[in-house]
Structure 1
Amino acid sequence: MSKESLQNRILALSALSVGFSLISSAFSFYYVKVFLNHYHIEESWFQLSQTLFMIWNAINDPLFAYCQDSTNFRCSRTRRESVLYAAPFFALSFLVPWFPWGDPETLQPWVTGIHLITALCFWDTMFTYVGLGYCCLFTEMTSDNNERLKLIRYTQLGSLLGSSSVFILQNLSDQLENFQMFQTTCILVAVISCLFMMYCGKHAHTERELQQESDAKSGKPQIVKFQEYSYFTLSKQILFNRDFLAFVIMNFFQEFHRTFVSNFFAIFGDQLIEKGSIPSIVRSTFYGASTTGAKLTVIFGASIVSRYGYFKVLRYGQIILVISGLVYYIIGPVNQWCLMLFMLLDSCLVDCISALFNLALSDVADNDVIRYNRRHPVTSMVYGMNALVVKPAQSLSPMFVVKILNVYGYDHLKDGTLNATEVQDLSSVMFNLLCLYPCVIGCIQFCSWSFYRIREKQSFDMTVYVGAGTDTV
């Protein structure tokens, strides 16, 4: 395949990264804060919605994955078409949380609860479908690790541009004080995101798809997807792979930590950094930097990954997380500028580590094809089974944190009924959570990652499965 062709496809995947990040960064950053502070959702409904969200998370990923790997519907025939047809619905799902079903002050608690359940399930349905296409495009666009690192740099650049949505929303809405402006800006963000994703859906061809198009022009039989194993057999083959297990255990706790950072960064920042102690523009920049710092680090640090390999880089990242959390816990909240620096370091490290995970999972998917001599790749299933294990962390993490915060009176903080001592206790538990999360999770990840055996990229020829051995019509 020509270099120019690959460059065009990388550009298309980067466009998907922009569109995906525009709405996913804003969604994860704001939905907890909006429902807790603006809609005043009751804790019982919040916990129920997260529980149902967790169940749906566990069900839909492997099912959609099997569908994308095994069916030939127009919306799942190729990876790019999965993105193309789902993009408008994904953008629409982003808008659902920001428009309450009535006046939040007079709504019945169950209405707000059903609103959150609907928003989370609709969002995750489209997030999963488009996200699987995104991940599979990354894996199947090229099998060369150097080119995959190049893909990471370009997609992180796209993600960096997309994550600016948080900074824009923070400033235009005056940190949610002007909620109507927030809603209007969200509509604009959704439209722009949809256009970027649809561009990817038009142009992001994989090597397999290009080979099929070439075969069609030369008069060869059309190749269609066919899965020789049942859903349960295929799931067992993937789940009982030692490398896959080592990765998903680490990834589960990574997502637990990442969700904590993205959902509660603004909430903890508002409580621990006193209003008026820093200029408003600095606070907005601080919140915006929480989603951009990691992207810049990955873009400029990709050469380090190329030199030392992602296994060692992830290992060192885990060690730094543990040490930084432990050191700052011992030192204590010295001043607010140091606190801001620590929060940014934690957020940056978490996102940097997550950005490299597609390299590891792509290697797992590549080796799965060789191990079982597959007639065509089951990349979606590998990512889907990963999500089956990992996605529950997205619900468990906020449930865990909200429960702890409410024990210390966070649900009454919004009413202004806490006294000074109770407010101080709440601030202390927030600080402890900030420090202990990276310490505990980093230790667990260090142990799990030790069982991962794919330390060096093995040679893998994409022609092993491009058009090989599949049924024809």
Structure 2
Amino acid sequence: MVLRKQEILAYCAAGVAFHMIASAFNFYYVKVFINHYHIEETWFQIAQTFHMVWTSVSNPLFAYIQDGSKLKISRTRRESILYCGPLFAFSFIVPWIPWGESSWLVGLHLIITFFLWDTMFTFIGLAVSSLFTEISRDTEDRIKLTRYAQMASILGGPSVMLLEFTSDSLHNFKAFQITSVCVAVCACSLFYYSGLNAHTEYDVKKIEKYELAKNSRVNVKKEPYTNQVCQIFYDRNFIAFIVSNFCHAFHKTFLNSFIAIVCDQLISEDDVPLSVRKLFYGGVSLMSTLVIITVTTFVSRYSYYYVIRSAFAYIVFAGIVMLHIGQDHPWCLMVFLLADNCASGTTFSLFNMPLADIADDNKSKYNRKHPISSTVFGISALLSKPAMSLSPMVTVSILNHYGYSELKNNTVEASHELKHAMFLLICLYPIAIGIVQLIAWSFFDIKQKTVQINVL
């Protein structure tokens, strides 16, 4: 299927909407529930544990629904986005409406938030990721899609910056709530446009097959879902990707959720004005996007395998350098965090390409007429998303051990030990994670295929 402008715009619209609300949710939910709602650590850990359990159910369930069921909302990727995109936008608003001050009520609020958010995040995320795989099988087309999607995400990237300035860094919570509703409405509109126009060759065949079976009342024999899952688990490339992606999800979640918390403690207003920090928080996503757009040129020339490996090597090197510089250089710390976010964002944006190649390789290996894209992306999410809960659980536990819980009411200042622990986390996380990723990524061997395609 020739990649047309309509498909590019539809995919970009879905990507912008997804990025617009996901980046804001990840940036604010920890800060809001800890600093604004004052959730107890016990309830925070319970909610995160529930999140991991529900993730283990939702990912394979929705992957099966999208790849194997005959429900109208999941017959095509386009219809999945059309019908469930508005629900995803609604789930973004839920955490910003307080339910009460009781500790159990705040804890229940976070649990329900995770349930609604992860349900829609998973369903729409699988649909958008599968759309990337199925719009085109050509590597250059996929690179082009990545580049255009990042260009378009510049429109959605500043959502954090917008929320920072309108709410005065959450000091005006009412303004934060109003702006969040506006962001959700914009995302809903973009999902609707994508749902109307995101057609793929596979979706056309899928609808024709469904209508034929419906009219003739013939049951089409389907391969057992357990067989598909086992085939994916036996794929060495998939295992290598999962280890790398799990570490990346842990690192990226830490950066998204704790960068504002850490900078507020390690960087004083005397060193860096608050207005500059607001610009920094909002500009991190934008700068990451610009870097990704630039990097896609190197992906065309050297393949995504080598670009991702270089990003892993960089975060190890940068972490060691920052550890040597020390925490008493706030501007160096901000540059380091900005570069670390850019490297992490670049890797995240390119991770759709190896998964798409894994889905294509699986289709060829087992002679399928249609790639099981949702199953591949769903199993990947199932194994990597627990890191998104583990990261805040581990980090909050470490910070509270050094007295962070005493800062909730702004009655005391952070101790030297707490600040030093925050600095060590900033440096040691990328060092340890990057080393594991480099080792795991060395076992990914579809790179040979990718290099060959890029050269032709």
The TM-score range, normalised by the shorter chain, is over 0.9
Q: What is the deviation of 1:229? A: 2.4
2: CA distance, partners of 1:241 / 1:160: 35
Deviations 1:54-81 (A, max 9, x none): 1111110111001100012110010010
Distance verdict in 2 for CA 1:459–1:176, change over 3 Å: closer
2: CA distance, partners of 1:275 / 1:296: 28
CA RMSD of aligned residues (A): 2.3
Match of 1:383 in 2: 377
Match of 2:440 in 1: 448
Matching of residue 194 in structure 1 with residue 188 in structure 2: yes
1: CA distance, partners of 2:13 / 2:397: 38
2: CA distance, partners of 1:224 / 1:315: 49
Match of 1:304 in 2: 298
2: CA distance, partners of 1:190 / 1:308: 38
Alignment of 1:418-433 (within 5 A): 418=412, 423-433=415-425
Distance verdict in 2 for CA 1:454–1:18, change over 3 Å: same
One of 67, 80, 83 as aligned partner of 2:81: 83
Deviations 1:210-241 (A, max 9, x none): 456799999xx999996732222221111121
Distance verdict in 2 for CA 1:101–1:212, change over 3 Å: closer
2: CA distance, partners of 1:279 / 1:456: 49
1:29, 1:263 within 8 Å by CA — same for their partners in 2?
yes
Alignment of 1:71-150 (within 5 A): 71-102=69-100, 107-150=101-144
Deviations 1:31-54 (A, max 9, x none): 000000000000000000000001
Matching of residue 161 in structure 1 with residue 159 in structure 2: no
Alignment of 1:329-340 (within 5 A): 329-340=323-334
Three-state SS of the structure 2 residue aligned to 1:394 is helix
2:288, 2:342 within 8 Å by CA — same for their partners in 1?
yes
Match of 1:471 in 2: none
Q: What is the deviation of 1:108? A: 1.5
TM value normalised by structure 2? 0.95
Provide structure 1 residue ranges, at least 5 long, that are not aligned to the other structure: 462-473
Given residue 235 of structure 1, which amino acid in structure 2 is its aligned partner?
A: V
Deviations 1:142-176 (A, max 9, x none): 00010000000111122222121100000000111
The count of corresponding residues between Structure 1 and Structure 2 is 452
One of 249, 269, 274 as aligned partner of 2:268: 274
2:262, 2:422 within 8 Å by CA — same for their partners in 1?
yes
Three-state SS of the structure 2 residue aligned to 1:376 is coil
2:76, 2:206 within 8 Å by CA — same for their partners in 1?
no
1:363, 1:457 within 8 Å by CA — same for their partners in 2?
no
Given residue 449 of structure 2, which amino acid in structure 1 is its aligned partner?
A: K
Distance verdict in 2 for CA 1:128–1:246, change over 3 Å: same
Match of 2:146 in 1: 152
Distance verdict in 2 for CA 1:57–1:224, change over 3 Å: farther
Provide structure 2 residue ranges, at least 5 long, that are not aligned to the other structure: none
Three-state SS of the structure 2 residue aligned to 1:377 is coil
One of 172, 191, 213 as aligned partner of 1:178: 172
Matching of residue 357 in structure 1 with residue 348 in structure 2: no
Matching of residue 393 in structure 1 with residue 387 in structure 2: yes
1:60, 1:128 within 8 Å by CA — same for their partners in 2?
yes
Matching of residue 235 in structure 1 with residue 235 in structure 2: no
1:95, 1:186 within 8 Å by CA — same for their partners in 2?
yes
Three-state SS of the structure 1 residue aligned to 2:314 is helix
2:202, 2:370 within 8 Å by CA — same for their partners in 1?
no
Match of 1:347 in 2: 341
- Using the aligned pairs only, state the percent identity: 46
Deviations 1:118-138 (A, max 9, x none): 001110000000000000000
1:212, 1:223 within 8 Å by CA — same for their partners in 2?
no
1: CA distance, partners of 2:208 / 2:43: 54
Match of 1:47 in 2: 45
2: CA distance, partners of 1:116 / 1:225: 43
2:244, 2:441 within 8 Å by CA — same for their partners in 1?
yes
One of 371, 375, 381 as aligned partner of 2:365: 371
1:78, 1:209 within 8 Å by CA — same for their partners in 2?
yes
One of 229, 243, 254 as aligned partner of 2:248: 254
1:309, 1:456 within 8 Å by CA — same for their partners in 2?
no
Deviations 1:253-299 (A, max 9, x none): 00000000001011111111113432333111100122121111111
Given residue 138 of structure 1, which amino acid in structure 2 is its aligned partner?
A: F
2: CA distance, partners of 1:223 / 1:13: 34
Deviations 1:241-260 (A, max 9, x none): 11000001110000000000
Q: What is the deviation of 1:457? A: 3.2
1:261, 1:347 within 8 Å by CA — same for their partners in 2?
yes
TM value normalised by structure 1? 0.91
1: CA distance, partners of 2:379 / 2:219: 19
Moved more, 153-162 or 339-348: 153-162
